[in-house]
Amino acid sequence: MQEVEKLFVYFTIYSFIGWFCEVVFCSFLSKRIVNRGFLAGPVCPVYGFGALFIIWLLEPVAFSLPFVFITGMAITSIIEYITGWLLETFFGTRWWDYSNKRFNLQGRVCLENSICFGMMGVLLIEVIHPITEKLVGNIPYSYLMIIDILLFVVFIVDSIFTLNTLVNLNERLRKLYEFTEELRKNTDIQEWFNEREFLKSFEKLKIIIEEGKAGINQKIEIGRTSLNNKLEESKANLNQIIEESKTGFNHKFEESKLELNKKLREKFEALTAKRGSGHRLIKAFPGMRSVRYNAQLGHLKEALKELKQKVTK
């Protein structure tokens, strides 16, 4: 029975080691600290499952290092492929993509990573697990139970939080897609909207709104002055009244158009705001692609990048 409690501790330890290796490697490539993990906590569960499978299947044949290397490479590659497929199927998002690497399988696994995992499997069997097994074996059973319960609660809370973030991210992408479709069909906004330069379009819209406010105020003031002058010259001139009515109508139309642009800008800012946008996951997996809303995910990445640049200035 005690072996079951140990397994969960092993799983947590190897999930942490996997997360640490990912953070070091990805931070080195990105030249910045990257919290490389599906969950918010310092763990990568896929490494924990991979380690447990390798220990379970290969520890009895640890005397044959070539066999451990090849089989470990196969086991971890299968787990990585299944994990990628599950995430893509259930969340409509591809978290990593090895399509640009040689000898890849549907972009979910590649030979380069598999070789690294094979070497890690040998290191696990020969060095890491014997040390871990000895350390965990020295923990009294009562303490082991408490540790398991605490770790389990943390994992559950973290998983719920992450799943909620994923659902919100997909919902945000869906709304951003609907918003983009709405813009594409609206003929009143063609003067500023360009889907290929999505973010720049809204920067242009911001300028249009500011210029529109100033222009309307100026026109209203000129209209008032002109109207007063004309009324003084001839209050009975019907043509002047009709002309002023047209001017008033034009002012109202421009105000209405300006109001529409303001609402579109506010909706865009709400959809691309950092809060609740899955920013941590996007930052952790910069190569993330959405199956259905990849263009909108690109817009969101661009907006979050722009927001970060503004904050750091």
User: Which range is least confidently modeled, 24-33, 127-136, 149-158?
Assistant: 24-33
Higher-confidence position of 143 and 198: 143
For 225-238, how does the pLDDT look when each residue is reduced to its tens digit (9 = 90+)?
655 555 555 555 54
Q: What is the mean pLDDT of residues 77-87?
A: 92
* Mean pLDDT for the chain overall: 76
Q: Which two tokens stand for residue 207?
A: 């300028």
Residues 109, 79: Cα–Cα separation, whole Å: 10
Backbone angles phi, psi at 98, to 5 degrees: -100, 20
pLDDT band at 91 (very low <50, low <70, confident <90, very high): confident
Residues 120, 72: Cα–Cα separation, whole Å: 8
| 290 SS3 class | strand
Q: What is the mean pLDDT of residues 6-31?
A: 89
Higher-confidence position of 166 and 273: 166
Please name the amino acid found at residue 185: K
Percent helix, strand and coil across the chain, each to the nearest 5: 80, 5, 20
Is this prediction's pTM over 0.75?
no
* Long-range interactions of 67-74: CB distance < 8 A, separation 24+: 68/121, 68/122, 68/125, 69/118, 69/119, 69/121, 69/122, 70/118, 71/121, 72/117, 72/118, 72/120, 72/121, 72/122, 72/124, 72/125, 73/114, 73/115, 73/117, 73/118, 73/121, 74/114
Higher-confidence position of 185 and 224: 185
Q: Are strands 93-94 and 289-290 parallel, antiparallel or unpaired?
A: antiparallel
Residue length, the chain?
Answer: 313
